[in-house]
Amino acid sequence: MKRKIVVLGGGISGYGSAILAKKKGFDTFLTDMGKIAPKFKARLDEWGVEYEEGGHTEERILDANEVVKSPGIPDTAPIVRKIRERGIPVISEIEFAGRYKGVAKTICITGSNGKTTTTSLIYKIMSDAGRKVSLGGNIGESFAYSVATEKHFWHVLELSSFQLDGCFKFKADIGVLMNITPDHLDRYDYKLENYARSKMRITQNQNASDFFIYSADDEVTNTMLTEMDDDLRGRQLPFAINTAIASGDGDAILEGHTFTATVGSKSVTIDTRKMQIEGMHNVYNAMAAALATLAAGIDPKQIKRSIYAFSPVEHRLEPAGTQNDIQWVNDSKATNVDSVWYALESMKHPTVWIAGGTDKGNDYTPLKEFARKKVKALICMGVDNAKLLREFDGIVPVIRDCHTFEEAMVAAREEATEGDTVLLSPACASFDLFRNYEERGRMFKAWVKDNVLQK
């Protein structure tokens, strides 16, 4: 009798898991409370996967041998509680696909900030070096779908804490932890230590042949490393800008405008002034990527070429255009305070800052010094802006309270003058006015194109 796999959620993670389960001969059923995108339904139909949308058939779900849960579905969802009460194992797509990847190796990147840029940079270096590599996890294609349909020797995966929470036997051959700062605390009982433990799952199951890359400048990471010292088996490769470090296995250290990353007997030296991605946060990202790809055996000369050629990731400090010496920057992916800290840190000109959305329990204190020095106007864009208005009153000279996207964009244009930067860096989730941060960022770019650049 076939084992029954139920896939909860029909997004990119879910459809890939369902197709892999079908290919491996499981009795497969996908269920989604909402609507499944037409492109995903087309692939499910192509593979003959049974699915439902707009509701859950509980009887069938609770008859499963195992459930693959999409990361966006919280453990507090009623159906997830019922599944757990029934004692049915609940895993993530990453755990499920990891069982079937064969001899392929994984480079897994997590962290509160910087993981998308770092993941994309690692993928570029690996691709440019001619490696057969997939890009998955939070970006790119579904990891499970790549495993089901193609033969790769490397998988570069951006992993959120939610994806790691559903991993038990999965192992990162090269694990990268960028940093740990408060984010998604609403999913972790508002306790930073719970969220930090989820991030540290990037090290689980590693052995002495594996690598663990981390920021030695990150206080929370260092605290967790002290707590977990006896459980860490991978070779440690720290990177740092502010901390004196030395590791027998390798490290990356910035001196002046240059950093050198070393793994074993190989090293690469990067002049950060030659990088297309700017800001100190991108120095961290490049150091992590250099260490990861050195650990993967990539030639240092290739690493250097790829880092210098790498351009900004969409929605992460992405230039959207310049007109009348006013620069417009799309940083829609900055959905937490720490991401915005890096964005404001990198601003070189008076800034009109567009922020707001669904607050995730933010503490805005770390942003106030930059806001005082660099922000000439704050454009609040959200259904409820009361917290932003209260927190930055008296810190930013001009604050505009806007409740629609159009209203906010017009206000930003009115406040910006020659030599300014208009920065969309929300510090909040997008769900009050947009489907996701991608929609928010693309609407920003389209508005700039239509209402600024073509004027």
Q: What is the pLDDT of residues 98-116, one digit of tens each?
A: 999 999 999 999 987 788 8
Where do we find the tokens 């690469």?
268
pLDDT of residue 355: 96
Closest by Cα among 161, 162, 268, 178 to 218: 178
| Statement to judge: residues 296 and 339 lie in one domain | no
Dist. CA 283–CA 273, nearest whole Å: 10
Q: What is the tally of structural domains in the chain?
A: 3
Give the contacts of 453 (CB within 8 A, at least 6 positions apart).
321, 323
Question: Is 0.85 surpassed by the pTM of this model?
Answer: no
| Statement to judge: residues 261 and 378 lie in one domain | no
H or E element at residue 143: helix 143-149
| Statement to judge: residues 243 and 327 lie in one domain | no
Q: What separation in angstroms does the CA of 400 have from each of 168, 408, 421?
A: 47, 8, 17
Question: Could you say which residues of the chain have pLDDT below 50?
Answer: none
Q: Regarding beta strands 318-323 and 326-330, do their DSSP bridges make them parallel or antiparallel, or are they unpaired?
A: antiparallel
* Residue where a domain terminates, one of 60, 91, 122: 91
| Statement to judge: residues 379 and 278 lie in one domain | no
CATH number of the domain that 25 lies in?
Answer: 3.40.50.720
| Statement to judge: residues 291 and 338 lie in one domain | no
Domain that holds residue 350: 318-453
| Statement to judge: residues 289 and 322 lie in one domain | no
| Statement to judge: residues 26 and 100 lie in one domain | no
Instruction: Give the count of alpha carbons within 13 A of 406, CB side only.
Output: 1
Give the sheet arrangement for strand 318-323, strand by strand.
318-323, 326-330, 421-424, 351-355, 375-381, 398-402
**CB–CB of 302/396 below 8 Å?**
no
